[in-house]
Amino acid sequence: RDGDPPDAWLDDLRRALPEAQVDVWRPGLPPGYDHAVVWNVPQQLFDEQPQLRAVVNLAAGVDKLLDLRLPPALAIVRLEDAGMAVQMAEYACHALIRFFREFDAYADQQRAGHWAPRRPRARADFPVGIMGLGALGARVAQAVRQFDFPVLGWSRTRHALDGVRCFADEAELGAFLQATRVLVCLLPLTDATRGLLNQGTLGQLQPGGYLINVARGALLVEDDLRHLLDTGHLAGAALDVMAQEPLPADHWLWTHPRVALTPHVGAQTMRGESVAQVAQALRAIERGEAPVGLVRRDRDY
Ligand code: NAP
Ligand code: GLV
């Protein structure tokens, strides 16, 4: 995974699963393996290893993996939290507080050598709506609550979270958006969510709203965001994920004055926690039990 030497993963996996034979996949490796532990692998792996019973994805999102042709009975497992939830909480709170406390304006003032305290703003005017209340979204909701912002959440099925006003399903999406000023997106990318952040939905946020997208770039229609920023309906955006990654050098997002970008680092895969979860999952599968992080094929997350 991203910059981590494959040998380090191999050594850790071998240590965590001493009962298993663990090899690095390469094209042409003879078939016969029961499980694969993957990140960003080509179709060829599944074509050459049709006997696989389970695949563990070294990430929370499985959208890229599900784009491949996978055997229908293959168990798909993803990382669930594994050290990522706290990173998402840091990211979302950092962006939220940067917007709320106007730290970008103070940075401009510093560059201009201009000493000018701004009037404090009320938390009540900054309701934070979190789309997706899963392993990551629920942790973000809890962290945002600690700063006393009003917190709302939206998910496919109804959740009950302490101190969070919960909305569910498409029927309640409008009410959720209209009650939100700072929108944090932590939805998986599926057929149901692709392009969900568009002019129609973001346009329903309260005026002077903000978007924090830490999920997947394809959830957002980037040109709709540009329009809403340029017309002033939205005051800013913090984006960790883009439709095309790496972001092309000439993309408008690089230089928009009200967009803050990071290169898909919102929550990075932590080797120690991930290897422990992989080992736990593969042992559960060997015992015939459902592992933590089992992906439901009928809903694609
Ligand atoms: P998760 O535990 O599967 O939670 C997904 C949440 O989204 C659930 O609350 C689910 O509702 C909700 N949801 C799914 N489809 C929906 C729909 N059509 N309408 C409304 N709600 C819907 O996922 P997670 O572990 O929190 O991760 C979320 C996403 O974050 C990942 O899929 C990945 O793309 C992204 N991610 C990004 C980074 C990064 O570095 N930027 C790192 C890790 C993950 P229910 O609860 O009702 O099922
Ligand atoms: C990273 O984007 C992940 O899905 O874990």
pLDDT in tens, 136-189: 999 999 999 999 999 999 999 999 999 999 999 999 999 999 999 999 999 999
Instruction: Say what the pLDDT of residue 228 is.
Output: 98
- The average pLDDT across 39-43 equals 96
> What predicted TM-score, i.e. pTM, was given to this entire model?
0.98
Q: 24 near 6, Cβ under 8 Å?
A: yes
The verdict on the CB of residue 62 being under 6 Å from ligand 2 is no
| Mean pLDDT over each residue of the chain, to the nearest integer | 97
Distance in angstroms (rounded) separating the CA atoms of residues 211 and 124: 18
Ligand nearest the Cα of residue 266 is 1
Distance 38 CA to ligand 1 centre (A): 19
Instruction: Say what the pLDDT of residue 270 is.
Output: 97
The verdict on the CB of residue 59 being under 6 Å from ligand 2 is yes
Task: State yes or no: is 264 an active-site residue.
Answer: yes
Query: DSSP assignment of 104-158, as one string?
Result: HHHHHHHHTT---PPPP--GGG--EEEE--SHHHHHHHHHHHTTT--EEEEESS-
Pick from 3-12, 123-132, 215-224: least confident: 3-12
The tokens describing 249, both together, are: 């050098």
28-38 pLDDT, tens digit per residue, is: 999 999 999 99
Distance 299 CA to ligand 1 centre (A): 11
Q: Which atom of ligand 2 is nearest to the CA of 241?
A: 2
Distance 59 CA to ligand 2 centre (A): 4
The verdict on the CB of residue 136 being under 6 Å from ligand 1 is yes
The verdict on the CB of residue 127 being under 6 Å from ligand 2 is no
Instruction: Say what the pLDDT of residue 252 is.
Output: 98
Instruction: Say what the pLDDT of residue 148 is.
Output: 98
Q: 256 near 233, Cβ under 8 Å?
A: no
The verdict on the CB of residue 181 being under 6 Å from ligand 1 is no
Q: 150 near 165, Cβ under 8 Å?
A: yes
Q: 63 near 281, Cβ under 8 Å?
A: no
For tokens 């895969």, name the residue.
Answer: 269
Neighbours of 124 (CB within 10 A): 9
57-102 pLDDT, tens digit per residue, is: 999 999 999 999 999 999 999 999 999 999 999 999 999 999 999 9
Catalytic one of 123, 227, 264, 297: 264
Instruction: Say what the pLDDT of residue 4 is.
Output: 79
The tokens describing 83, both together, are: 């050290």
Task: State yes or no: is 35 an active-site residue.
Answer: no
Residue type, 40: N
Nearest CA to ligand 1 atom 37: 215
SS3 content of the chain, % helix, strand, coil (to 5): 35, 15, 50
Q: How confident is the model at residue 289 (pLDDT cuts 50, 70, 90)?
A: very high
With b for 16 or more beta-carbon neighbours within 10 A and e for fewer, the 56-78 pattern comes to: bbbbbbbbebbeeeeeeeebbbb
Residue 248 per-residue DSSP state: P
